[in-house]
Amino acid sequence: MTPTLANPMQSSPNGGDVRSCCSIINALAVILPDQVTPDSECDVIGVLVDAFPGDARALVSGQCKRHEVDVMLGAVQRWSAGQGWPAWSFRPMHPVPPETAQETISALRAELEVPRTVALCGFAIGPRYICVVQVTNQVVLLRNNGGERRIGLREIETDARWSLEHCWVFRRCD
């Protein structure tokens, strides 16, 4: 049975972790399940922390800016290629005004229908980033260190707290 979290955005039961890094690792674990292990997670966190171009407090609190996440994703992609991991790509799919929430989620749903694809999303509700694994006609499946949680699609599309602000799509290339 999938655990349900009291706070769907909680990265760790203890808090105080490097939330943005954990969310990136969770996304990688979806597309590279054989490569993302407890041992490799430490290495990935090191790569992400070393690449982070901003104030460390933003990294720890999960409040990274888009360009900072772009830098970290590029660094971990280069590192993983050097480790011989399967190729993967990422690309931004941030909402563009005047795109509605329904249009954004619909486009994300189409992306996630491709096997070995996951999205790293930032919603207005914080901390900022969490993995979106699947979007159906009724629910959005979120994943973080504490497990998975389903949020009603109607809530995602209509509740301002769930306004999608940032999105990167990760895809395994083989």
Q: What is the pLDDT of residues 131-141, one digit of tens each?
A: 999 999 999 99
The CATH code belonging to domain 19-172 is: 3.90.70.10
Beta strand pairing status for 117-123 and 129-135? antiparallel
Q: Quick check: 1 pLDDT over 60? A: no
- Domain extents for the chain? 19-172
Q: What is the pLDDT of residues 72-109, one digit of tens each?
A: 999 999 999 999 999 999 999 999 889 887 888 899 99
CA torsion through residues 6, 64, 142, 125, sign: positive
Q: What is the pTM of this model?
A: 0.85
Is residue 89 within 8 A of residue 140, CB to CB? The reply is no
Confidence of residue 62 (pLDDT cuts 50, 70, 90): low
Position with higher pLDDT, 8 vs 99: 99
- Residues 6 or more apart whose Cβ sits within 8 Å of residue 157: 101, 102, 105
